Amino acid sequence: MRNTSSPSALTRPESPSTTAGRLGAFRTELLRIGRRCRLARRSGIEAGDAAGRAEAAPSRSRFGFAAGRRVALTTRRPLQRRFASVQFLFLLLAATAAPAQDPWRTELRDAAVPMRDGKTLAADVYLPAKSGKYPTVLIQTPYDKKRMGAVLVEPDAPTGETGRGAASDLQIVMDRERYAYVVLDWRGFFGSKTAQAGVNRRTWRRGLDGYDCVEWIAAQSWSNGKVGTWGGSALGKQQLDTAAEHPPHLVCMVPLIAAMGQRYESYYEGGVLLEGHVQRLDQLGFGVGALVRAAPRPGALAWSAAERKSYRPEAIAVPSLLITGWWDNDPDHVLQTFEDIVARGGDAARKHSRLLIGPWDHVSIGVARQGDLQFPGAERASGQAAKAFLDRWLRDEDAASWDATPRVRYWVTNETAWRATESWSGLARDSTTLYLDAAGRIAAAKPAAGDRVYRYDPREPSPTLGGANLPPMKHGPTDQSALGARKDVLVYSTGKLDRALRVNGKVELSFTFSTNRVDCDFTARLCDVGPDGKACLLGDAARHARMRDDGGEWKLLAPGETSTVTLRFPATATTFPVGHELRLYLSSSNWPRYERNPHTGDDHWDAAAAVDLEVTVHHDRAELRLPTPRE
């Protein structure tokens, strides 16, 4: 077996039939030499007779050495030495007569995959039991290839952050009999850590590493030349970056819970830092915190440059299956990525890409239990879709069946089946406006004027109880009803509905307010309250008051003056059945999901300078705008 530390180490060893042929030729060579020894003995050549030397033939054998040198039989040796040599030959012959061991290896660890800059990245390769040429699924991870690969060997192996919520999906996608799998450590992480040294970050792109890995796979003798990619979150973003570089042998990709590029809204929502998210990224080794905090405003040159460089949906040319969930970190950005690929990508990407939106959060894709809810009808759907997609493009199986699938499939919360459409943004929708009143009601009729007041101490913030978060924060559709007991939270409700209410799209909350400070934040949580009394979170929203104008201008408040602000929730598809209620929690914090505001006008939290806040919500124009699908 070749040394797997060399760039070409994983070319397939010679086949068993070739090995058997070489052993057969070796046995023939030994038999020929043995016959010469016996002939020499019968001819009466005596040991020590210099004139009767009979050297073994000096011609080159098929093994690259001279047969005479290999055995060096001479008739001048003592008889017992000649007999010993012949005995040794037949022992060798007996050994080579044993069955040849198959050299095909199903696991190849720490292969050094060469990059264009002369560095190598570490990869583990998993091959089927039977030798041959196979399509390959490439998984590029910053979370340790060993832990991801463990799922390929032991289906119940824990993966932690490794699978980023997709471990159960990998168990479905895994088909060790028909696919090769390559799991690669990102440059700068785990087995590829040293490859980051000396890299010029101005010119280097991680997608180029993906390109080099795809083409390395295609050159291996166990590869049939078809490569697809799979993985969630950071693993998904890397697929998009790889595809944008156009490796010739990349056939398709399956990015889960991942959008393309870097943009302001991935780290700030309505101007409010996603503190818990950024902190978790730093803990995982991405080191984005300092850069993100240094650019708190959306118009900063750093953000426009980052998006221009990294968001390239027009560069995607291969069929893509994007998968996200309603409680994913940024489903709106995934929706935008998909629709831009379909509108601006290459021919195959525009025609054959698909989108699946399930009732899932970022770390539990394809799992039935999400927060405090259960979705058994959506369990395993993401993995099954990914497997069918890979089979179609890497194995040409069920092409007609897959090609007939709807372009977009999505799950409606509180319903039990998938819905389909050719375009998410193109769905026919109406807008239904409900109104908030000073009694805490949400109703269709405009209320009389009235105010509600709350006071908020930023040193005692309203806690994060779930939502589109990463662990260790609570995540998913969890119960928010405990917020109702807080004095710094205003609660609004429709009461129990006497007819179903369907919502499909982005909900908006708009209201007028006044405050005693020059700046503050507003946070809102949209919930569905079922018969069990749990207020399960559908979505969060937040906005800086100084970013209240949609034009992007930052303007501090004048204490006591009335202003208007609009909060926008991420897209959802939810049916509120008869007997359920729509409930809204309004406050100025949701920590640690969102960074706290010190109310001084500073860009970031400053505990020493922070001051208390008083907010008055005016109900002359307090509206909840709901996108409702046309029947």
Average pLDDT over residues 453-471: 96
Predicted confidence (pLDDT) per residue in 580-617, tens digit? 999 999 999 999 999 999 999 999 999 999 999 999 99
Average pLDDT over residues 78-98: 42
pLDDT at 327 over 80: yes
89, 30 in Cβ contact below 8 A?
A: yes
Kind and range of the H or E run holding 157: none
Token pair of 525 as six digits = 């949580």
- Give the pLDDT confidence score for residue 151 in this predicted structure: 79
Q: If DSSP states are collapsed to H, E and C, what string results for 537-592? A: EEEEEEEEHHHCCCCCCCCCCCCCCCEEEEEECCCEEEEECCCCEEEEEEECCCEC
DSSP letters spanning 391-430 = HHHHH--SHHHHHTS-SEEEEPBTSSSEEEES-STTS-EE
User: 405 or 167, which is more confident?
Assistant: 405
Q: How confident is the model at residue 74 (pLDDT cuts 50, 70, 90)?
A: very low
β-partners of residue 24 are: none
Dist CA 90 CA 30 (whole Å)? 8
Q: How confident is the model at residue 150 (pLDDT cuts 50, 70, 90)?
A: confident
Token pair of 315 as six digits = 């560069």
Dist CA 539 CA 610 (whole Å)? 28
Rg of the chain in Å (alpha carbons): 34
CA dist 409 → 236, 334, 503 (Å)? 19, 14, 16
| Top CATH class, 429-629 | mainly beta
- Give the pLDDT confidence score for residue 148 in this predicted structure: 83
- 41-50, 194-203, 316-325, 616-625: which has the minimum mean pLDDT? 41-50
107-261+311-421: which CATH topology?
Rossmann fold (3.40.50)
Dist CA 1 CA 20 (whole Å)? 16
- Give the pLDDT confidence score for residue 85 in this predicted structure: 45
Burial class (CB in 10 A: 0-12, 13-18, 19+), 420: exposed
Token pair of 286 as six digits = 């991405």
Q: How confident is the model at residue 568 (pLDDT cuts 50, 70, 90)?
A: very high
Give the whole-number percent of the chain exceeding pLDDT 70.
81
Q: How confident is the model at residue 69 (pLDDT cuts 50, 70, 90)?
A: very low
- 297-301, 389-393, 536-540: which has the minimum mean pLDDT? 297-301
Kind and range of the H or E run holding 525: strand 521-529
Q: How confident is the model at residue 156 (pLDDT cuts 50, 70, 90)?
A: low
566, 619 in Cβ contact below 8 A?
A: no
Token pair of 476 as six digits = 């998913």
Dist CA 328 CA 525 (whole Å)? 15
Dist CA 260 CA 161 (whole Å)? 20
pLDDT at 359 over 60: yes
- Give the pLDDT confidence score for residue 83 in this predicted structure: 42
pLDDT at 631 over 70: no
- Give the pLDDT confidence score for residue 162 in this predicted structure: 47
Angle formed at CA 252 by CA 248 and CA 257, multiple of 5 degrees: 130
Residues with Cβ within 8 Å of residue 401, at least 6 apart in sequence = none
Residues with Cβ within 8 Å of residue 239, at least 6 apart in sequence = 140, 210, 229, 230, 231, 253, 254, 255, 258
Peptide bond into 472 cis (omega under 30): yes
pLDDT at 84 over 70: no
* Phi, psi (degrees; rounded to nearest 5) at 344: -125, -5
DSSP letters spanning 204-268 = --HHHHHHHHHHHHHHSTTEEEEEEEEEETHHHHHHHHHHTT--TTEEEEEEES--SS--GGGTE
| CA-CA-CA-CA torsion sign (95, 96, 99, 102) | positive
- Give the pLDDT confidence score for residue 55 in this predicted structure: 39
Which residue is it, tokens 């291996």? Answer: 220
DSSP H helices, 345-380, are: 347-352
Domain boundaries, the chain: 16-96, 107-261+311-421, 429-629
**DSSP label of 498:** S
Angle between helices 206-219 and 234-243 (to 10 degrees): 70
Predicted confidence (pLDDT) per residue in 17-32, tens digit? 344 444 444 444 444 5
- Give the pLDDT confidence score for residue 319 in this predicted structure: 98
Token pair of 10 as six digits = 């994983």
In CATH terms, are 107-261+311-421 and 429-629 the same topology?
A: no
Token pair of 56 as six digits = 């073994």
Alpha carbon of residue 405 to chain centroid:
23
Predicted confidence (pLDDT) per residue in 209-243, tens digit? 999 999 999 999 999 999 999 999 999 999 999 99
Average pLDDT over residues 126-133: 97
Dist CA 214 CA 137 (whole Å)? 10
pLDDT at 98 over 90: no
- Give the pLDDT confidence score for residue 164 in this predicted structure: 53
- Give the pLDDT confidence score for residue 168 in this predicted structure: 75
Dist CA 76 CA 83 (whole Å)? 12
pLDDT at 94 over 70: no
Q: Which of 172, 525, 548, 582 lies closest to 327 in space, CA to CA?
A: 525
- 37-51, 226-240, 335-349, 351-365: which has the minimum mean pLDDT? 37-51
Mean pLDDT taken over the chain: 86
pLDDT at 157 over 90: no
CA dist 608 → 286, 305, 459, 582 (Å)? 29, 34, 10, 38
